[in-house]
């Protein structure tokens, strides 16, 4: 028997990636959802699965250490950002070296940085008529989208038929395929050693 990893999923939108990770890693991990939008669909989906859910606001996150205290109290091993757009406080990053993983819907360093998220990325890729796009899964540091890259996967584009919507769909397919794999890999490297 291996111990289960305790994973904090930070998400603020539909939560499709968070749900894929939960679905694929039920045996290997326990999850808590951290969400900064009280109306985000991801909350209802996680509650339906019986997943503990913590909602916080900007003041909680940046002016108090309530989120950090919660993570520490729950002895969280890994933080996974699955559609979370706020920059993390430096104190939080310092507490979890190589233990915070983000997914970004482009081939970083292209189309990264503040304001580049979700549909904005796909629109920019389309307008530049890029021949390819993809995903980047990376550790988080104190700058937007600049942490050490763990995995990138690309997909070809052409015009026609590609549009911002088809680009988004192609990227989402990659995200759903590879994000759970990367988290599983992190767990196997950090939780299956030294255990009888
Ligand atoms: C994902 O495409 C993820 O790459 C993106 O938000 C989406 C969340 O979708 N993250 C960023 O753009 C971070 N800069 P989901 O709620 O369906 O998982």
How confident is the model over 54-76, as pLDDT tens digits?
999 999 999 999 999 999 999 99
- In the annotation, is 138 catalytic? no
Q: Which atom of ligand 1 is nearest to the CA of 172?
A: 2
Best CA proximity match to 191, nearest among 4, 51, 13: 4
Residue nearest ligand 1's atom 5 by CA: 83
- If one residue of 15, 79, 82 were mutated to test the ligand 1 pocket, choosing by the most ligand atoms within 8 A of its CB, it would be 82
Reported as a pLDDT band with limits 50, 70 and 90, residue 3 is: confident
H/E element, 178: helix 164-191
DSSP state of 12: -
Rounded CA separation 12/71 (Å): 17
CATH of domain 5-103+136-152+178-190: 3.40.50.170
Q: Where are the domains of the chain?
A: 5-103+136-152+178-190
In terms of Cα–Cα distance, which of 27, 39, 18 is closest to 81?
Answer: 18
Q: Which residues line ligand 1 (CB under 6 A)?
A: 11, 13-18, 82-83, 85, 103-105, 117-118, 175
Distance of alpha carbon 139 from alpha carbon 159, whole angstroms: 33
Ligand 1: which residue has its CA nearest to atom 6? 83
Q: Are 69 and 110 in contact (CB under 8 A)?
A: no
pLDDT tens readout for residues 21-42: 999 999 999 999 999 999 999 9
What is the whole-number distance in angstroms between the Cα of residue 195 and the centre of ligand 1?
Answer: 34
């Amino acid at each position: 028997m291996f111990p289960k990893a305790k994973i904090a999923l930070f998400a603020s939108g539909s939560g499709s990636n968070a749900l894929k990770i939960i679905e694929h890693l039920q045996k290997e991990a326990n999850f808590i959802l951290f969400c900064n939008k009280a109306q985000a669909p991801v909350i209802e989906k996680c509650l339906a699965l019986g997943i503990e859910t913590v909602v916080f606001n900007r003041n909680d996150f940046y002016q108090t250490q309530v989120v950090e205290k919660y993570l520490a109290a729950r002895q969280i091993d890994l933080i996974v950002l699955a559609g979370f757009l706020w920059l993390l406080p430096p104190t939080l990053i310092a507490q979890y070296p190589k233990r915070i993983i983000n997914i970004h819907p482009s081939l970083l360093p292209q189309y990264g940085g503040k304001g580049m998220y979700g549909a904005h990325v796909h629109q920019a890729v389309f307008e530049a008529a890029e021949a390819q796009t993809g995903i980047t899964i990376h550790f988080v540091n104190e700058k937007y989208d600049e942490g050490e890259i763990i995995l990138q996967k690309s997909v070809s584009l052409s015009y026609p038929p590609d549009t911002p919507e088809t680009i988004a769909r192609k990227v989402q397919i990659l995200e759903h395929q590879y994000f759970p794999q990367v988290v599983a890999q992190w767990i196997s490297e950090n939780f299956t050693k030294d255990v009888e």
